[in-house]
Each structure stands twice: as C-alpha cells, then as structure tokens.
Amino acid sequence: MTTEPLLRARDLQLGYGEFVLMRHVGFDVRAGEIFFIMGGSGCGKSTLLRALMGLHPPQAGQIFYGKQDFWGGDEGARHGIMRRTGALFQGGALWSSMTLAENVSLVLEEYTGLSEGDIRDQASLKLALVGLAGFEEYYPSEISGGMRKRAGLARALALDPPMLFLDEPSAGLDPVSSRMLDDLVLELRDTLHTAFVIVSHELASIFAIADNSIFLDAGTRSITASGKPDDIVRDPKTEMSALNFLTRGGDRSVAA
C-alpha cells in the first residue's frame, strides 16, 4: 500500500442544524485499504459516509482527496472528485425497469464519450468482474438479493474509481451470500487496488476483511477506537462501548 492517503478526514463535526452527532472525527484511507466505519445505532455512521461521498456537508472540519479540499473547493471541483468514487447503497439502488447491463451503461453514457459498442463491452466487463457474466439482460427482479448487491457493485465500478463506498453491503443477505460478497471485495481490492470505505454492523465481515477501522461512540460523540478490529479487541485500553460492540454481536440495527 502507498503511504500517501487517498482520503483524509480532519477534525470533522457531523450533524444536522444545531444538533451534533460526532466531533473531532479524523482518519486516513489509503489505496487498496478496506476501511470500516463501526458504531451503534444513531452514532452518525451514515452521516459520515454521506459527508465523504459529497451528499451532506460536515458542520466543521475538512475532507481531502489527495491534496484537494473536498468541501472547501467549488461545486464543479467537488463533482469532479465524486466521479472518481463509486457507491453501493443498502438495497443496491438499481433501476428496476432497466436490465443489469443498462444500469451499468447509464453511468458510462452520462460521464464518458464512449461509443455504444464500447459502453456495451464495458458494462459486460464490469458485470463479469463481480461474477455476473451472462446476466446482462436480466432485470433486478429476476435475480437474488446477493446478485443485486453485486450488480450494484458493478455499476459502482463503471468509471474505474480508486475508491468505493459501501453502505451496509451485507444487510438482508444470508451468511453464505454475505461471505461471497466479502470474498468479492477482497478480490477487487487485490486485482484493482481499489480502496473500500464500508459502513457495517456485521462482525463476521468486519473481522474477516477489515484492514483498518474506526468506532463511533454515540455517548461521547467521538471516535473511541481505531485500528484493525483484532488489535482493538486485544488492546487493554479499548473503551467498553467499542469492546462490547466487537465482542457481543455488534449492533443489529442499521440506522445511523
């Protein structure tokens, strides 16, 4: 992994209006790193993810992509950065009236000057990368939940971004499908050197694939633990909120 972070968050304050969810949030994400955002219900996990994705500004602090100030620059520069990231939302967020290939192609049609044939080839390639070769003409309603998540991941990969954001990717999946998705994330990280920022409460995934993580504590409204999950559990200085989360089954709610 490179030492220069792809993403840097510095002294973020997150919330809505006058309500503050989190203060003094800071971390780095590097190329090829699988980074988890953990915490209990209502702590601000999804709010943090939205700030990183450009969907909701932080109340204070800075986010840098490379040397570019994400929220401190103009809107055009921010949208340019956003096109260098991809996102997988909880339900996959696929257009139900479009085939899988059309869902992936939509991004390419909007943001590239590729020909129709090249777009079709790229859509097939991205679907093949996530194990859906041959499913180009299927509609989302015709495939399983796990396959819909993978199709959403193919769409997130459409522009070959160096960083992907995943919001509760295992939500609603059975353990086998969840493990298959974990294996796919590892494969994409290893082959494409893509960085992943993942909001999750699924301990099996967190311990299986996380390179780094932070724990957001709703009580203190701050990060109370950071690092590789195994190291957090072994550290005698780990605060009880994080330790309880990682050793007692996590938080079954996906609210944030």
Residue-wise pLDDT for 139-155, tens only, equals 999 999 999 999 999 99
Same domain (yes/no): 229, 119: no
Tokens for 167, please give them. Answer: 């919001």
Compute the distance between CA of residue 20 and CA of residue 221 in angstroms, rounded to an integer.
8
| Better-predicted residue by pLDDT, 3 or 203 | 203
For the chain, where are the alpha helices, taking DSSP H only? 45-53, 75-82, 100-111, 116-129, 145-156, 175-192, 203-209, 229-234, 240-247
224 within a domain of the structure (yes/no): yes
Give the pLDDT of residue 251.
56
Same domain (yes/no): 147, 165: no
| Better-predicted residue by pLDDT, 125 or 89 | 125
Full residue range of the structural domain in which residue 29 is found? 7-84+161-247
pLDDT in tens, 193-227: 999 999 998 999 999 999 999 999 999 999 999 99
For residue 53, give the CATH number of its domain: 3.40.50.300
Same domain (yes/no): 147, 166: no
Q: In 3-state terms, what secondary structure has residue 213?
A: strand
Same domain (yes/no): 205, 100: no
Same domain (yes/no): 46, 149: no
pLDDT at 254 over 80: no
193 within a domain of the structure (yes/no): yes
Same domain (yes/no): 110, 208: no
CB 197 within 8 A of CB 163: yes
pLDDT band at 252; cut points 50, 70, 90: very low
256 within a domain of the structure (yes/no): no
1 within a domain of the structure (yes/no): no
Same domain (yes/no): 122, 213: no
72-80: average pLDDT: 92
137: exposed, middle or buried (Cβ count in 10 Å: 0-12, 13-18, 19+)? exposed
8-17: average pLDDT: 97
Same domain (yes/no): 170, 76: yes
Tokens for 230, please give them. Answer: 């195994």
pLDDT in tens, 18-64: 999 999 999 999 999 999 999 988 899 999 999 999 999 999 999 99
Same domain (yes/no): 240, 176: yes
The residue type found at 228 is K
Same domain (yes/no): 79, 168: yes
Same domain (yes/no): 148, 170: no
Same domain (yes/no): 180, 65: yes
Instruction: Say what percent of the chain tops pLDDT 70.
Output: 96
104-116: average pLDDT: 95
